[in-house]
Amino acid sequence: MSKRLRSSEVCADCSGPDPSWASVNRGTFICDECCSVHRSLGRHISQVRHLKHTPWPPTLLQMVETLYNNGANSIWEHSLLDPASIMSGRRKANPQDKVHPNKAEFIRAKYQMLAFVHRLPCRDDDSVTAKDLSKQLHSSVRTGNLETCLRLLSLGAQANFFHPEKGNTPLHVASKAGQILQAELLAVYGADPGTQDSSGKTPVDYARQGGHQELAERLVEIQYELTDRLAFYLCGRKPDHKNGQHFIIPQMADSSLDLSELAKAAKKKLQSLSNHLFEELAMDVYDEVDRRETDAVWLATQNHSTLVTETTVVPFLPVNPEYSSTRNQGRQKLARFNAHEFATLVIDILSDAKRRQQGSPLSSSKDNVELILKTVSHQHSIESQDNDQPDYDSVASDEDTDLETTASKANRQKSLDSDLSDGPVTVQEFLEVKNALVASEAKIQQLMKASRLEKQNSTPESDYDNTPNDMEPDDTASSRKGRQRSMVWPGDSSVPDTAEPHVAPSPTLPSTEDVIRKTEQITKNIQELLRAAQENKHDSYSPCSERIHVAVTEMAALFPKKPKSDMVRTSLRLLTSSAYRLQSECRKTLPGDAGLPADVQLVTQQVIQCAYDIAKAAKQLVTVTTKENSN
């Protein structure tokens, strides 16, 4: 961070103290609670970054700080500043308001509906208005007045506008004038540093010609931002653009790239996409990387009692109404990839991006992004014995008949609607859970102490965790296969439901309070693991994973051998298989282990994903238990 936030700074949406997140494209700082709503809107509405725990290009942070300090928030709240708004009862949220519905409704109105933005007088020809605004933007970027340019962009000015008389774009003008913060703002709104003007020169050329070396180097970084972000996600390194290295293609940590026929077919289809569709897929994967990384930061920075509240629910990429339903379905399916599958897809995209830049793309008679996503994700689907993990599709699809029956999809969607939607019933349930957590807070430490004493000599067996936890990672070929299979999405045959077939399903569930207490144990241990990941204490991974595994086993032991509820069975399977996968990943960092990865960063990403899955499953169990016990 270029400078420390002043204590006087407040959340742009509710005026709460000490905001710890930023909305980059809105030029505002926001608090945790308001950020939880921003995250659910999607990056096309608000691009959020944590101010301390997310890496920042210095000039990008400086751009956001400049906008915030110069009143950018008034752009989004223009009409609320009018005294008539107070008279009519319209007001912004305050820190004491509930997240749902109060803060959420205000934030959606402010950023999604742009309800308070200053409106221009209506004209018959909207395109002329947009052209006029873009011309104003074109001339404004030569100055340092960022908020004026943001206001023009908010009204519809186009960042990539090509001025017919001047023969260039706003980014050419900003680069020639050495306005690096204007260049950052334009890039956030989609300006392309590789665009040529009427003389064949790019903004990078003008920055170098004017002696603005820092700006020139930053523009090159922006040009490769998508592939740089994907590489950094996998291996924690970025290419050295100054020395002509523009791509890093990481290797899988355990050298076990998926070489199945399905994976090969998916890679071939990826290569056959047109450049346009390949770019769309790459942008969607970029958004999924952002979602996963933001979730990891969120888990690491929230206190344990919020891990099971509504503020964590961003289980897949939110729908972007500008995209087709097919593309939105494909984007949401990315959330179903486990860490290994997602890393394989990211590496394939990086490899093909490099190939496309260096040579001609392969021709294709059929461009189908959805088929690629289906093919890659189909592998863990066909291995599943009881594949009832929610689809995470909020839009209807008629193309999934090869993966599941209509009936099972209806059951999945029903579970999804009742437990992962942001509707009023679910919010109420989450708030009940939050209140219960607060009420039982004083008893937790005492319970944990008693639990440690009770479990010193024995650990209860769980009917949902029959995987051996003393397997050495690299002893035999079969154990290597077991380790790979442990990374398959929960619900596969690596963690079968072994309850006896003659045992009747039991409707009896443990008390909500007991489940909440065990969830507290799990989430506290997860926080310890995430802190270790943040501080690069890799030797702490394995002990943390063991404690999480014990806590998960104790949680699963609360439930009957064969619960009646499909959601409970699914959540227990996700909980226990994720805990086992977590142990398997963490063992790779043990000193002297033959399987020690060449790239610890990738293992860390997989560890974070497993921790997220465990927290998500625990939240689901609390939610469904609360719901069932209240009936």
Q: Between the CA atoms of 597, 602, 605 and 606, what dihedral angle is there, to the nearest 10 degrees?
A: -60
Res. 37: pLDDT tops 80: yes
Are 317 and 287 in contact by the 8 Å Cβ rule? The answer is yes
Res. 202: pLDDT tops 90: yes
Which residues are within 8 A (CB) of 407 and not within 5 positions of it... i.e. 6 or more apart?
none
| pLDDT, tens only, 518-548 | 888 898 888 888 888 877 788 888 889 989 9
C-alpha to C-alpha distance for 156 and 127, rounded to whole angstroms? 10
pLDDT at position 358 is 86
DSSP state of 101: I
Lowest mean per-residue pLDDT among 101-115, 168-182, 363-377, 522-536: 363-377
| pLDDT, tens only, 219-267 | 999 999 999 999 999 988 899 999 999 999 987 655 455 556 777 788 8
Are 131 and 155 in contact by the 8 Å Cβ rule? The answer is no
Are 231 and 248 in contact by the 8 Å Cβ rule? The answer is yes
C-alpha to C-alpha distance for 88 and 55, rounded to whole angstroms? 43
| pLDDT, tens only, 54-109 | 999 999 999 999 999 999 999 999 988 877 766 555 778 999 999 988 999 999 99
HSE at residue 610, side-chain half, CA atoms within 13 A, is 29
The average pLDDT across 358-385 equals: 48
Q: What's the order of all strands across the beta sheet hosting 21-23?
A: 28-30, 21-23, 48-50
The two structure tokens encoding residue 87: 């008279």
C-alpha to C-alpha distance for 517 and 436, rounded to whole angstroms? 10
HSE at residue 437, side-chain half, CA atoms within 13 A, is 22
| pLDDT, tens only, 482-496 | 322 222 222 333 333
| pLDDT, tens only, 438-489 | 443 334 344 444 444 433 433 333 333 333 333 333 333 332 223 222 222 2
Are 491 and 384 in contact by the 8 Å Cβ rule? The answer is yes
Q: Which residue has the tokens 């009420």?
A: 439
**What is the number of other CB atoms lying within 10 angstroms of the CB of residue 211?**
9
Number of helical (H) and strand (E) elements in the chain, helices listed first: 24, 3
Collapse the DSSP code of 382 into the 3-class scheme (helix H, G, I; strand E, B; otherwise coil) and give the result. helix
Are 31 and 14 in contact by the 8 Å Cβ rule? The answer is yes
Q: Which residue has the tokens 């420390």?
A: 4
The two structure tokens encoding residue 45: 């509405």
pLDDT tier at 427, thresholds 50, 70, 90:
very low
The two structure tokens encoding residue 277: 């569709």
Distance from chain centroid for Cα 53: 15
Are 465 and 573 in contact by the 8 Å Cβ rule? The answer is no
Q: In this predicted model, which residue has the larger pLDDT, 200 or 302?
A: 200
Are 599 and 560 in contact by the 8 Å Cβ rule? The answer is no
Residue 614 identity (one-letter amino acid) = I
DSSP state of 21: E
Which residues are within 8 A (CB) of 52 and not within 5 positions of it... i.e. 6 or more apart?
1, 20
Residue 25 identity (one-letter amino acid) = N
Are 52 and 1 in contact by the 8 Å Cβ rule? The answer is yes
Closest CA to 91 of 76, 106, 75: 106
The two structure tokens encoding residue 223: 């040009």
HSE at residue 263, side-chain half, CA atoms within 13 A, is 17
- According to DSSP, the β-strands at 48-50 and 21-23 are antiparallel
The two structure tokens encoding residue 49: 């970054």
**What is the number of other CB atoms lying within 10 angstroms of the CB of residue 463?**
18
HSE at residue 460, side-chain half, CA atoms within 13 A, is 16
Residue 236, burial from CB neighbour count under 10 angstroms (0-12, 13-18, 19+)? middle
Distance from chain centroid for Cα 5: 25
The two structure tokens encoding residue 4: 């420390």
HSE at residue 420, side-chain half, CA atoms within 13 A, is 23
What does residue 506 show for φ and ψ, rounded to 5 degrees? -105, 125
